[in-house]
Structure 1
């Protein structure tokens, strides 16, 4: 069996479906253009958060362990792809800007223009930590670039923090593929747990926000049942 065939066989998740197709596509991309293919796949993962980096990154490490390219190339190009994708989303945030978001919030029943101002003020104060640690959280690793663009975080600072956070996240999963080989799925299990925790915390936060705003809206209208919401 050829090295590429070994990688492809190890890449296929046991449950099949779209994850298998994604792993196969990642392997074929790396087989065609080498480690640059891994970087391109991670750039797309940043633009489309449903694509799981915890499947793409171990493929790069697995390919490096089979001699397709070096471990350094795997880490360099996947991190470069992360930065490119992050800057693309930063650009979207900068294009949206505070003015457009404020106008949008003014038209939404549960949002207020002050929410945008407070969010931007918070990001200006804590944005560095948010970008750095956000790069190591599923879903938020992509989305955190948009508020950074809205707040117009200095490009050099955004790039430095994004590179540092992405390098840590990428290294964990690339090394998992490099050292675990065909057993790289072990690390995917822990990544799934982290993703579920992030989704649960986000859902609770959104639900609490809606509850508070609906209650305040009913109270402002003098609705008797406001306290029972």
Structure 2
């Protein structure tokens, strides 16, 4: 972190959006700790990491735009257990709650990166997307950079708490997916039994 400086930390955070195995929960507190050692300023660490978050989110937004609704519908239509009606409901939900989803999604592990793609697919206003992504990222990054700054050499404690939060999110998502798949398989079986 000393070698790459605050702009390098921002670059790592941008890459974390595209390659989630690079965890921001490690990068951000470490940037805060390095700032506390006087290698760069706290404000610089927050600015560069937030800029990196926004740049990464923008890249994924344009991937969503390139994918587009038509291609997405073709992909979804070929997927087992997923109906186009599911996609229609998801799109309607995103239309109603898209702004809050992008803003709060920037503060939730896993979804931090992924939320940019549906925003691009749905062609959310680009300036609005950038503002919401920047605001959500600023809050998330500030919490972890400041934690690393004040925890000093114990900066890794912030990463441990973030790791617990990440695991809770992963377990909740897996539980939901299992419930959804079981429900969908049962529905399809009942549909086939009714046809016979």
- TM normalised by structure 2 equals 0.95
Aligned counterpart in structure 2 of residue 142 of structure 1, from 107, 113, 118: 113
Calculate the aligned-residue CA RMSD, in Å: 1.2
CA displacement 1:115-173 (0-9 Å, x = unmatched): 22211111111011111111111111111111111111101111111001100110011
Q: C-alpha separation between the residues in 1 aligned to 2:93 and 2:165?
A: 25
Cα offset for 1:198? 0.5
Aligned partner of 1:18 in structure 2 is none
Q: How does 1:1-150 map to 2 (within 5 A)?
A: 27=1, 30-32=2-4, 34-150=5-121
- Distance across 2 between alignment mates of 1:57 and 1:103: 39
Looking at structure 2, the residues matched to 189 and 55 of structure 1 have their Cα atoms a distance apart, in angstroms, of: 9
Matched with 1:194 is 165
- How far has the Cα of 1:109 moved from its partner? 2.3
> Which structure is larger by alpha-carbon Rg, 1 or 2?
1
Mapped partners of 1:31, 1:39: distance in 2:
13
CA contact (8 A) 1:35 1:77 kept: yes
State the structure with bigger RCO (CA 8 A, min sep 6), 1 or 2: 2
Structure 1 residue runs without a partner (length 5+): 1-26, 224-229
Tell me the distance in 2 between the aligned counterparts of 1:215 and 1:199: 24
Aligned to 1:212: 183
Q: List runs of 5+ in structure 2 lacking aligned partners.
A: none
- Whole-angstrom distance in 2 between the partners of 1:112 and 1:169: 35
- TM-score when scaled to structure 1? 0.82
1:50 is displaced (CA, Å) by 2.0
Residues 98, 116 of structure 1: 8 Å contact kept: no
- The alignment covers a number of residue pairs equal to 194
